[in-house]
A and B are shown apart, each in its own frame.
Chain A
Amino acid sequence: MALKKMDDLTPVHYDVLREIGNIGQGNAATALAAFSNKLVTIDVPNVRVLDITQAIEYLGGPENIVTGILVRLRGDINGMMLTILQSGFVKNLIEMVFSRTPADQFDLSEIETSFVQEIGNILSGSYLNAISSLSGMCTDVSVPYVTTDMVGAILAVPAVEFAEIGSKVLFIDDCFTFSEGFHDKVYTASRSNMILIPELQSLEDLFTRLSIPV
């Protein structure tokens, strides 16, 4: 049996994707800790298949302003990966690294914008590394495209490009908590979301590589 649509995924498939999410988030936390010089703890990521409308609602409604970082995937896995950073995440990062509190996500200097772009790059790279270390699949990543705007318009981009998969996406919920140490009571939690839109064939190849029946 072949994967015809995202809805065909079974609980075993979800477990695999959650595990990839777990490893990816671990990699991302290590990188964020190096950047911010803080202790970064993570929750177990939540992996779901959502349609675009549900994902938009989940991310705060169509008009919520977020920063989206888009990379294209080519190679053993084809598709797109979209990192969504909520305003709180962007502000926290800028505060920790540049010691400055921006008024909003638009209030960023050139170097700060480039830094945010790099964070998106690191986050998506972390997941792709998790996939390749588990499965041995090799994927090229495009340069990251970044925009800060309404989440409804940002999510429409993958929806439009991958219309043939029925507008469903793989939605990974991350929560990173930054603190000075384990006993520190002052911490900031930041949410980010990874949205993976693989071609179904790539997803099927991934499961085949891992000897999981599809």
Chain B
Amino acid sequence: MVIVSIADLKTVVGEDVLVTYALGSCVGICLRDDVNKVSGLAHIMLPWSKTASEDEQNMRRFADTGITELMQQMVDQGAKSRNITAKLAGGAQMFGVASAAFNIGERNIQAVQKVLETYKIPVAASDLGGNYARTIYFHTVDGKLEVRSATKPTIFI
């Protein structure tokens, strides 16, 4: 089991489980090249890196730079970008609908989808939005994404 912390990313080759905990408004991006058995997971917090401050240390926080780095690492490990498909989870609005100003989740979802579109990566499945946190287990053996939450039943997508 490989744990990916907030604003970080990891890749694995072969059979393993990539885990990231407590996705709220953050989005978990699971990429997999089924042919070369290379998989990766990124846990992004914010949509676009152009909002970063000058001394920003961690470009993995952003959807655009995070996905780009994840793709690069996967290609370095033998993945071919034309084989890669994506599964997504997260992008919730914590603290309910009353807090429209906080709706970063929706903006994260849009950014992730846009970036994946530019790389021509199809989204095979997703579990997005809502107002609750998700923990995800990406089973790279078959590409199933297990989504757990505090109050909803566990689903596999």
Contact = CB atoms under 8 A, between A and B. Distances in A.
Interface size class of A (residues with CB under 8 A): 20 to 34
B140 interface: no
A170 interface: no
Contacts of B150: 65, 106, 148-150
Contacts of A196: none
B32 interface: no
Contact of B24 (A53, A143, A150, A161): A150
A63 B134 CA distance: 9
A106 B53 CA distance: 39
A145 B23 CA distance: 19
Contact of A156 (B6, B131, B132, B135): B6
A150 B53 contact: no
Interface in B88-107: 92, 94-96, 98-99, 102, 104
B133 A157 contact: no
Interface of chain B, main secondary structure: loop
B71 to A, nearest CB: 23
Nearest to A104: B150
Interface in B80-138: 92, 94-96, 98-99, 102, 104, 131-135
A153 B24 contact: yes
A37 interface: no
A147 B26 CA distance: 16
Given A145-B95, A157-B25, A163-B46, A106 B133 contact: no
A148 B61 CA distance: 25
A159 B135 CA distance: 18
A152 interface: yes
B22 interface: yes
Contacts of A166: 53, 55
Contacts of A163: 45-46, 51-53, 61
Given A106-B151, A150-B133, A160-B46, 16 more contacts: A53-B5, A56-B22, A62-B135, A63-B135, A65-B150, A70-B99, A146-B95, A147-B131, A149-B94, A157-B25, A157-B95, A159-B6, A160-B26, A161-B102, A163-B52, A166-B55
Interface of B: 5-6, 21-26, 45-46, 51-53, 55, 61, 92, 94-96, 98-99, 102, 104, 131-135, 150-151
